[in-house]
Amino acid sequence: RNRPHLIINSLAGRLETAVATVTLQQRAASDHLETTTGPQSRTTTRMTWHFSQPLPASLQPLLQEDKLAAIVVHKDTIVACNQAWENLCGYSASEALKKSPQILQGELTDHAKAKRFKHELEEEGNASTTLCNYSKDGTPFVHRIRAIAVRDHLGQDTYYFTVGSAVRDEGIRRAILKRAWTHSAALEKWEVAATAATTALAITSFAVPGWAEETLASFSNPS
């Protein structure tokens, strides 16, 4: 006679335990996106993301909604990237995670412009720029970048959510690449001249007092 009641009570107990487990998992997810040691993938409604460490819940809306090529940077290190970024830049998640975003920079990258972008982002909380960057196979491309700073729930740690795209407009591409080539050539000429001046300094400065200071002062780094 009591057996049906025992079965019902047992099922009710299991259901209560299952609900409690789901609730705990949801609470854990509200604080951090769960990850394990090493890269882990997580598919949102639009994009597959790869992580190297737990991320704050404040980043979740961006991970859910943005479908552009994107990375998350923390302490100058890539801690998350999505499939679109892998396709754009040619690096797999295992190659990019825990590396500096500077892996995309190369000979034609305007490093001074990249530093200004980083400084503005850290000071203002958002920034945008267009650079000549490089894919993994060494192919240069014009990279339009936008980034915003995102704080964790305690407001103590800052992450930078960065989206990028390859510029397709031929006029803009030519202008950026021409500027990059010009800057690179100017920098190379400056380095050659500075090296020559330094060599001459070592040979003649002892014979002509004050010549060294005047000569080196005439050179200014174009960057």
**pLDDT at res. 43:** 65
Distance of alpha carbon 202 from alpha carbon 121, whole angstroms: 42
Between the alpha carbon of residue 149 and those of residues 62, 73, 75, 83, 118, the distances in Å are: 12, 9, 12, 21, 11
Residue of 27, 41, 160, 15 whose CA lies nearest to 100 = 160
Partner residues linked to 131 by β-bridges: 143
Distance of alpha carbon 183 from alpha carbon 124, whole angstroms: 27
Distance of alpha carbon 153 from alpha carbon 30, whole angstroms: 10
Distance of alpha carbon 50 from alpha carbon 41, whole angstroms: 4
pTM: 0.65
**pLDDT at res. 186:** 54
Q: How many helices (H) and strands (E) does the chain have?
A: 7, 9
Tens-digit pLDDT profile for the chain (223 aa)? 555 555 555 544 554 444 333 333 343 344 344 433 456 776 665 789 999 999 999 999 999 876 899 999 999 999 999 999 999 999 999 999 999 999 999 988 999 999 999 999 999 999 999 999 999 999 999 999 999 999 998 888 999 999 999 988 776 667 676 776 676 555 565 455 556 555 554 555 555 555 555 554 555 555 5
